[in-house]
Amino acid sequence: MSDTSKDILVSFRNVQKSYDGESLIVKNLNLDIQRGEFLTLLGPSGSGKTTSLMMLAGFETPTAGEIRLGERTLNNVPPHKRNIGMVFQNYALFPHLTVAENLAFPLKVRKLSASVVDEKVKKVLGMVQLDKFAHRYPGQMSGGQQQRVALARALVFEPQLVLMDEPLGALDKQLREHMQMEIKHIHERLGVTVVYVTHDQSEALTMSDRVAVFNNGDIQQIDAPRALYEEPTSSFVANFIGENNRMNGVLQSANGNSCQVRLQHGEVIEAKQVNVGEIGQPVSISIRPERILLNNDSESCTNRFSGRVCEFVYLGDHVRIRMEVCGETDFVVKMPIARLDDKLKVGDVVPIGWAMDHARALDPL
């Protein structure tokens, strides 16, 4: 066995799942999860991400294929024998037990001695900063505190793998962001392997080592957050992750890693050739709003056009400017407030540009 295979904790091999024997919710999943990594399964509803997590947990059975955890095949192992921690959105705490009793429960099931149980409960309470809450009941705590207890309960028996299904979905924005960092830091300290499911792209980008983007039962791309955002390999990923300007056209010529795309209104854009077909076939171009330059800043850009300002949306630290560019009326430019020209107003027509490298030629949507 090679050293790299020892670092793989979970592997899905040709895994399929169908509920009706006809349509596949998960089509043919092949995925290796590294020991100690934080992997997020991200995608729209019905894309297969939660079903994949539930098969790993043992609450769903694969229709075909094999799931392995370490050295053993999991297909016929019941959930409680998989040594996997789980955190759900609805906390699933026992209301009639105190926090300490909730945390002790998975340890008692494993028949650990009372002194070991006390020690482990104390340790995990400290980890989620709830030392003072040991004797409270879930009903006496806020949503964020209950979610911390649920997290502690998933970690208390020191599983090699923790699965989290939309665990922060019920929390308000500020608490959500706080808990994202909390979970990320606990993961860094413990080095436990985490598989996390969310449909929230900013959550996935913030927390993960790698993100697997699901659509229609398939993984479209699996990569580090920065690579997914900066280097999407398909139009679906470019549009699903972060804000994106999409322009449709036809491939006019291709040379090495660059290509020319003729837009519907006749303009030609120089773009990076990423995922295109033959000359004459349709292409979708993806440009991130923060990569676009206005006025004199755009002078050195390969792609330079004029744009008409349609609308400003102020967002505190930055402004979104909606413009009409090359016949597209929903073209968005994002700019830090500090760089905004105060004299710019709705109706102005200004030079606008972007580098070839920041325009990615992808499959048509």
Is residue 357 located within the same domain as residue 268?
Answer: yes
Q: Are residues 61 and 198 in the same domain?
A: yes
* Whole-number pLDDT of residue 2: 44
Binned at pLDDT 50, 70 and 90, residue 259 comes out as very high
> Which residues, including other chains, have CB under 8 Å from residue 125's CB and lie 6 or more apart?
99, 100, 103, 131, 133, 134, 152
- 241 vs 205: CA distance, rounded Å: 9
Confidence check: pLDDT of 15 > 80? yes
Q: Tokens representing 167?
A: 């665990």
Q: Which of 235, 266, 292 is the last residue of a domain?
A: 235
Tens of pLDDT, residues 45-71: 999 999 999 999 999 999 999 999 988
User: Residue 78: CB partners within 8 Å, gap ≥ 6?
Assistant: 58
| Domain boundary residue, one of 209, 235, 261 | 235
Span 313-328, pLDDT tens digits: 999 999 999 999 999 9
What's the pLDDT tens digit per position in 199-236?
999 999 999 999 999 999 999 999 999 999 999 999 99
Domain holding 321: CATH number? 2.40.50.140
| Coil, strand or helix at 166 | coil
Check whether residue 231 and residue 267 sit in a common domain. no
14, 150: one domain: yes
DSSP states of 174-199: HHHHHHHHHHHHHHHHH--EEEEEES
- Residues 222 and 89 reside in one and the same domain: yes
**For the domain that residue 216 is a member of, what is the CATH number?**
3.40.50.300
How far is it, in rounded angstroms, from Cα 310 to Cα 326? 14
Rounded to whole angstroms, the Cα distance separating 299 from 174 reads 40
Give the domain range for residue 61.
Answer: 3-235
Strands (E), 19-124: 24-34, 38-42, 64-69, 72-73, 84-88
Which of 208, 235, 262 represents a domain boundary (last residue)?
235
Same structural domain for residues 256 and 217? no
Statement to judge: residues 114 and 212 lie in one domain:
yes
Residues 24, 76 share a domain: yes
Domains in the chain, number: 2
pLDDT of residue 250: 97
